[in-house]
Structure 1
Amino acid sequence: MAQITLKGNAINTIGSLPNVGTKAADFFLKTTSLETKSLKDFLGKKIILNIFPSLDTGTCAASVRAFNKSAAELKNTVVLCISKDLPFAQARFCGAEGIANVEMLSDFSTGDFGKTYELEITDGPLAYLHSRAVIIIDEKGTITYAEQVPEISEEPNYEAALKVM
């Protein structure tokens, strides 16, 4: 279990992020058009998983905007923004914000992604949502970077994440 904080108050996740150097577990998530995508759909490219609780918070929205801007400059890379927000809300956010360089994916239907990657929050006001994390996967499916953001109301370390690209 990882302990993180929400505005200074301790909350927990069901486990710890996967270790750097291990193979990324497959997943099945919904796109904004309700198609199912898996990790296998993106192999052959570098993959940035930008994971967060909900687009309805300023910090989560800021991370999508930041990675959207970075994604435009990265070669052979896809940025997947993952939350439990409904795909309709994700599509509405992207349309309103002009977000076009990232792919939004939702874990709303099963929650399996949050459990498999051990980042589901277990207690506190955000229980059952995803913690804020960034995971980078290389073209062959190996994890090359993993950051569990210790204070969920803060943004991830973009510089450190993009340095491994």
Structure 2
Amino acid sequence: MTTITFQGKPLNTSAELPAVGSDAPAFSLTSRELVDVTLASYAGKRKVLNIVPSLDTPTCAASTRKFNQKASHLDNTVVLAVSADLPFAQSRFCESEGLTDVIPLSTFRSSFADDYGVTIVDTFLRGLTARAIVIIDEHDKVIYTQLVGEIANEPDYESALAVL
């Protein structure tokens, strides 16, 4: 369990992020086409997991836009925007924002949030994910993690992108 804050008030996550150097936990998430997508779906690619509570908030939308702009053009790299939003809402968000270089994926029928230690377990945000970045290399090793201490803040993009 890790303590983070929302507008200065403490809340807890279910566990800690996967350790740098460890094998990335396998996952199954749901695409906008309602198809299950797994870690193996991106075999041989670097994966930037931009984990957000909901794309329907200003900070989550901003981080998704920034990763669309800054990381999606990198060679052999996919940017996965992971949230608890339903695939329909994720699709609408990406279409309305013109985001074509991030792949929105939903946690709505998976154990991803628990497996990656980002489930918020208390307060009115219980059940959503914390804001985090996990970068996985082409061999499915975790090479970078960042749990944002204040959920209302954006992540440190430069530190994340520096590992790529």
TM-score range, shorter chain: over 0.9
In structure 2, the partner of 1:48 is: 48
Q: Distance in 1 between matches of 2:26 and 2:32?
A: 19
Runs of 4+ displaced beyond 4 Å: none
Written as runs of structure 1 = structure 2, the 5 A alignment for 1:66-77 is: 66-77=66-77
Structure 2 segments unaligned to the other structure (5+ residues): none
Q: Distance in 2 between matches of 1:135 and 1:55?
A: 17
- Which TM-score applies when normalising by structure 1? 0.98
In structure 1, the partner of 2:157 is: 158
SS in 2 for 1:69: helix
Q: Distance in 1 between matches of 2:148 and 2:91?
A: 25
Is 1:88 the counterpart of 2:88 in the alignment?
yes
In structure 2, the partner of 1:132 is: 131
Letter in 2 for 1:22: S
- Which TM-score applies when normalising by structure 2? 0.98
Structure 1 segments unaligned to the other structure (5+ residues): none
In structure 2, the partner of 1:38 is: 38
In structure 2, the partner of 1:24 is: 24
SS in 2 for 1:66: helix
Letter in 2 for 1:98: G
SS in 1 for 2:40: helix
| Residues 51 and 81, structure 2, Cα contact 8 Å, conserved in 1 | yes
SS in 2 for 1:125: coil
| Residues 71 and 102, structure 1, Cα contact 8 Å, conserved in 2 | no
| Aligned-pair Cα RMSD in Å | 0.7
Identity of aligned residues (%): 48
Q: Distance in 1 between matches of 2:142 and 2:109?
A: 25
Letter in 2 for 1:122: V
Letter in 1 for 2:43: L
SS in 2 for 1:10: strand
SS in 2 for 1:78: strand
Q: Distance in 2 between matches of 1:89 and 1:106?
A: 10
| Residues 134 and 142, structure 2, Cα contact 8 Å, conserved in 1 | yes
Deviations 1:111-136 (A, max 9, x none): x0001011100011210100000000
Deviations 1:65-123 (A, max 9, x none): 0000013421110000000100000000011000000100001123x000101110001
Q: CA deviation at 1:151?
A: 0.2
